[in-house]
Structure 1
């Protein structure tokens, strides 16, 4: 099977293990591939939440200039407001909550921004209807 469509985003990180822990905790992701890139001489990790064929590729780098900041971001949907509030409280305690949760109504929903260990921005949200809008677009094309 050949991959088509949007499959990944690659982010440079200073400490790959610290970044794995962050995305495991706040985005429910796990390592699905790992290798040591022979050309560059650095570890490379693919992370997925196993809900769709999409990964975050983490590439260890000597210098990291945050690509996804301050407003550019990765977005992760949470199962409930309570789950999101719990994650935001943990992020607050770990000093990585950069935008407090707010409810922006339809279609944006309830959301907050976190900062990963390298300064990239991760959005947590509840109530965005991205999946429903994609399904509707697909059915409209049929």
Structure 2
């Protein structure tokens, strides 16, 4: 048996705000929307990854009140440090920057953290062993 992670399902307090966040910050798009058990269920994915991994968003969640030093998060890899800085500035202007850009030893790399409308943290990184830039990183 070899399980494959295909999705994460989240109950969120404001479905439309979360859709807008993941579109704006993560370049995800709605690939499926349907009525389900008295509410709307939305599937979101990155372009060309619709058959590999999705977020399922459903209304009815509570706002997560994570501490700034709580590192529970979803991780998105970016193509450069400049893109991390750009996301951090966009988040600062939107009032949702949690962790300013910082550089840490491999395998952590360069990253910042942003709070989504449901209170989940989203990390944007460059230089981790997954995603863009990984081919230039040392292996351990």
Cα 1:89/1:15, change in 2 over 3 Å: same
Q: Aligned equivalents of 1:95 and 1:67: distance in 2? A: 15
| Aligned twin of 1:105 | 105
Q: Aligned equivalents of 1:75 and 1:51: distance in 2? A: 18
Q: What is the count of residue pairs matched by the alignment?
A: 127
Cα 1:110/1:51, change in 2 over 3 Å: farther
The alignment's TM-score, normalised by the length of structure 1, stands at: 0.81
Equivalent residue runs for 1:1-142 within 5 Å: 5-37=4-36, 39=37, 41-52=38-49, 53-61=52-60, 63-66=61-64, 70-131=70-131
Looking at secondary structure, tell me which structure has more helix per residue.
Answer: 1
RMSD: 2.0
1:50 CA drift (Å): 2.9
Cα 1:11/1:67, change in 2 over 3 Å: farther
Consecutive unaligned residues of structure 1, counting only runs of 5 or more, are 134-142
1:83 CA drift (Å): 1.6
Contact 1:114 1:121 in 2 (8 A): yes
The alignment's TM-score, normalised by the length of structure 2, stands at: 0.82
Q: Deviations over 1:79-113 (max 9, x none)?
A: 11112211110100111001101011311110111
Q: Aligned equivalents of 1:72 and 1:51: distance in 2? A: 26
Consecutive unaligned residues of structure 2, counting only runs of 5 or more, are 136-140
| Aligned twin of 2:138 | none
